[in-house]
A and B are shown apart, each in its own frame.
Chain A
Amino acid sequence: MFNRLSKFIAVSILLAFAAPAGAAFNILACEPEWGALTQELGGDKVSVYNATNAFQDPHHIQAKPSLLARARNADMLVCTGSQLEIGWLPVLLRQSGNPKIQPGQPGNFEAARFVRMLEVPTRLDRADGDVHPGGNPHIQTDPRNIALVAAGLAKQLAQADPANAAWYQSRYQDFSARWQIALARWEKEAATLKDMPIVVQHKGFPYLEAWLGLKQVATLEPKPGVEPSSSHLAEVLERLQHQPARMVLRAAYNDGRSSDWLAERGKIPAVVLPFTVGGSEQAKDLFGLFDDTLQRLLAAAK
């Protein structure tokens, strides 16, 4: 039996060395929005793997074997940071045996460093629910943040992969020009959404609200990370009588039961926003993400 084991080990080692080494720069993106952004900036010179998809709650991910293998082979890690991935990323970093992606290295990119964080808590106490010390980490809902992160990512890509620095720079210029045009178009389209009162299921949209001037009137979760209870939902419904809202928003990964309940009782539409790339049919890339988001918001606002 030991012979079988040693044979197995020998074969695995041989296979490991026989596995073709990829010529492309391997990117492990923690969330699909950063995977999409890196794809825009890298083109065919990068090979992107998304650790999570739009239907997963990024707070509740496990460091499963497939992610460990990808972390070991990655040349660069592109994540949000601000402790969004604290439940699983430290395990990936420690167990991967990969020096390139450790914190502080050019291969470790933290998007939250490049934007102004909202909802930074004044006190850190778990009695307040699942609060993030660095502020609300869901920065991808504001396209201006995407632009800022893109600038930082282009620079860091050039640092981590200097051979293709000029390529990343030219692709960034192209992306940035297209993004500015799209941004101006979205802002014009969304002008009617200013000052619209809304209800959200989870406090995942502060950056979207800041960009479009939406006013968050209530949240379905009594505290961040705590499931909506029927008493709290009744309270929210009561509050809407005095402070009406126009719609209730949730992300594609949120469970719809409480939103649908409120939508029915409060006679307002329940809107599912893709929240990140892949969250809906139309949100195939970053441009589609905001096109679809605005389309859904405007359709509900009618």
Chain B
Amino acid sequence: MYKRKIIASGIIMMLGVPLSAIAADSAEIQQIRKEIEALKQGYEARIQALEQRLKNTELAASSAENHAVHAETAASQMAALPAPGTPTDSANAFNPAVSLILSGLYSNHSLDPAAYQLTGFHLPSAVMGDLQPQRGFSLAESELGIYASIDPMFFGGLNFAIHPDNTVSTEEAFIQTTGLQQGLTVKAGRFFSGIGYLNEQHAHVWDFVDAPLAYQAFLGGQFNNDGLQVRWLAPTDTYLEIGAEVGRGANYPGTGRDKNGAGASALFAHLGGDVGISNSWRAGVSLLTTAPQDREWDDTNPEGTAVTNAFSGNSKLWMADAVWKWAPNGNAYNTNFKLQGEYLRRVEDGSLVYDLNGVAGPGSYSATQSGWYLQGVYQFAPYWRAGLRTERLDSGSADYGVNNAFLSRLVYRPARQSLMLDYNPSEFSRIRLQFARDKSAQGATDNQIFLQYQMSLGAHGAHKY
């Protein structure tokens, strides 16, 4: 096409040559042509400029659209951004977490509680006094717990038990490290020993109104110790925890002693895991070693006279515990089941002083005694649980050496069965009804009925497994 144009313009030019006569006119035509050219170029330039502007406008429009879309999503996200200056929540910023446990009890015993005893087991009278139940309406222990982080390294707090007779005892007052390296935790102060399963749990989380007979006979209900505890959590996917404690050992089964070293030491190991998503379990073994000095108990000799005897020596308590929890899909809200059992075995040997306040006859002493309990609690509907506990003690064999003639060696197996039903409208309130057939004292059966409330207010305590 370009060639043709050239040829065409060439022909025109050639035609234009013989028309030199109208040279003056062709000059005009040339000028007109130039003007047309100029006009054409001018218009072309303007068209190009317009096209460019159009292109720019289109680009601007599309980018404006993009911005609009971004702005929309940004605006909808703004609705979700945190409001500036929203205060963070914590369990009372800088103030400790304070919680109060309120508990009351109505109990009905067919036997006189003053005659309460565990036949074949020699507990100091003070301990028996604590364990002795009360008839009728009574206020049970109120507990005040105050806990907080002390600083990035430590956590601590205490639990006061306020007894209905207006005395206060410190159940726990301890500090512990948080996030020490290598899965280690160190605890110091007064605390419930980590032996067994139930020992570390406060009474207000128990599934029954009272402690198992085995705990009463061998630990005086629950054993707490002033001392030091180290726990190590193994870096495995299966839960394995090993702990060791040293302490004063002033509480039964130990006694207060004037000694530079430790009066009690404990060693325990726990293993735990999951079976599927519905089941979890924990099992453990523990050993509590104490060295009581002049641990007294009241007894009657074969003539029927009341005598006080004292034991000094070594006491080793072995414990094995296991707990199994089931909940459908791991959701414990509607139904769940918990099976729990412990076996305790105590070996004691040392010396015995018979009739401390009278004859004061010395002799040797060795005894092996054991006990166990097994309980199952089933939540059959939201808020409602039922539980059954069966337990037995074996007073085993006791050898009083020279004093065998003066002290009766009863071989008796205290036993008890308990049935409970509780109503928990929330995690903070509980009302429980419990029936029990108690054969702790030889020759008599105590039928017991309990009605109890256990409630907590204040900070939400996170409970152990």
Contact = CB atoms under 8 A, between A and B. Distances in A.
A46 interface: no
A159 interface: no
B286 to A, nearest CB: 10
Q: Place the interface of chain B in its size category.
A: 35 or more
Contacts of A163: none
Contacts of B242: 9, 12
B280 A65 contact: yes
Interface stretch (A94-102, A233-241, A261-269, A292-300): A94-102
B184 interface: yes
Given A62-B465, A144-B77, A225-B426, A113 B240 contact: no
A282 interface: no
Interface of B: 73, 76-77, 79-83, 86, 88-89, 91, 152, 155, 176-185, 231-242, 267, 269-274, 277, 280-282, 285, 287, 318, 325, 329-334, 382-383, 425-428, 457, 460, 462-465
A56 B235 contact: no
Interface stretch (A34-42, A85-93, A191-199, A242-250): A85-93
B402 to A, nearest CB: 29
Nearest to A8: B269
A128 B214 CA distance: 42
Contacts of B184: 97
Interface string A121-143: 00000100010111000000010
Contact of A65 (B83, B155, B285, B465): B465
Contacts of A145: 80
A23 interface: no
Contact of B331 (A15, A19, A60): A60
Contacts of A116: 79-83, 86
Smallest CB-CB A-B distances: 10 pairs: A65-B272, A65-B239, A99-B179, A134-B89, A97-B183, A55-B329, A144-B80, A69-B239, A16-B234, A133-B89
Interface in A197-223: 207, 210-211
B235 A73 contact: yes
Contact of B239 (A66, A100, A148): A66
Looking at B176, B331, B334, B382, the one whose CB has the most chain A CB atoms below 10 A away is B331
Contact of B318 (A1, A52, A130): A1
A183 B74 CA distance: 12
Contacts of B177: 97
A147 interface: yes
A119 interface: no
Contacts of B464: 63, 91, 95
A240 B18 CA distance: 104
B189 to A, nearest CB: 15
Interface string A14-33: 01100101000000000000
A126 B458 CA distance: 9
Contact of B325 (A21, A64, A101, A187): A64
A147 B274 CA distance: 33
Given A57-B332, A65-B273, A69-B239, 8 more contacts: A53-B330, A62-B463, A64-B274, A69-B238, A94-B178, A97-B182, A104-B152, A255-B333
A113 B82 contact: yes
Contacts of A126: 426, 428, 457
19 contacts: A16-B235, A21-B235, A65-B280, A66-B272, A69-B236, A69-B239, A70-B237, A73-B235, A87-B462, A91-B463, A94-B176, A94-B185, A96-B233, A97-B179, A97-B181, A116-B79, A116-B81, A116-B82, A227-B382
